[in-house]
Amino acid sequence: MPLIAALFISVAVAGEDPKVVNPIWVSAPTATAADYPRFAAIIRAEGHVVVQCEALPTGALSACTAMSEKPADLGFGREAVRVVQRGVLAPRTGDGTSEPSRIQVRLPFHMPARTRSTKPDPWTGPEPTAGQQASAQRWAIRATSRRPLLARFGLEDLPPDRRAVVTEWIGELYPDRQKTQAIFTVAAARLLAEVGLPEMPPTRPLDEETWSRRFAAASADQFDRHAADAELRRRYCARYECAPGL
Q: Would you place residue 55 in the very low, low, confident or very high pLDDT band (cuts 50, 70, 90)?
A: confident
Q: What is the mean pLDDT of residues 25-39?
A: 84
b/e string for 15-49 if b means 16 or more Cβ within 10 A? eeeeeebbbeeeebbebeeebbbbbbbbbbbbbbb
pLDDT at position 9 is: 44
Q: How confident is the model at residue 241 (pLDDT cuts 50, 70, 90)?
A: confident
**pLDDT in the model for residue 218:** 93
The whole-angstrom separation of Cα 41 and Cα 71 is 13
3-state secondary structure of 26: strand
3-state secondary structure 6-44: CCCCCEECCCCCCCEECCEEEECCCCCHHHCCHHHHHCC
33 close to 3: Cβ distance less than 8 angstroms: yes
Mean pLDDT of 137-147: 90
User: With contact defined as beta carbons under 8 Å apart, do 206 and 197 qualify?
Assistant: no
Q: Ranked by mean pLDDT, which of 34-38, 113-117, 202-206, 235-239 comes out on top? A: 235-239
Closest to 189 in 3D by CA, of 226, 214, 223, 152:
214
The mean pLDDT value of the chain amounts to 85
| Crossing angle for the helix pair 160-173 and 225-239, to the nearest 10 degrees | 150
Q: Which residues pair with 25 in a beta bridge?
A: 89
Burial status of residue 206 (CB atoms within 10 A of its CB: 0-12, 13-18, 19 or more): middle
As a whole number of Å, the end-to-end CA separation of the chain is: 28
The C-alpha atoms of residue 126 and residue 149 are separated, in whole angstroms, by 29
User: In 3-state terms, what secondary structure has residue 172?
Assistant: helix
94 pLDDT more than 90: no
Lowest mean pLDDT across 90-94, 128-132, 183-187, 237-241: 90-94
Measured from the Cβ of residue 55, the count of other Cβ atoms closer than 10 Å reads 25
Distance (Å, whole) CA 115 – CA 51: 32
- Alpha helices for 9-110 (secondary structure H): 38-42, 76-84
Long-range Cβ pairs for the range 65-69 (8 Å, 24+): 67/104
- pTM, full prediction: 0.80
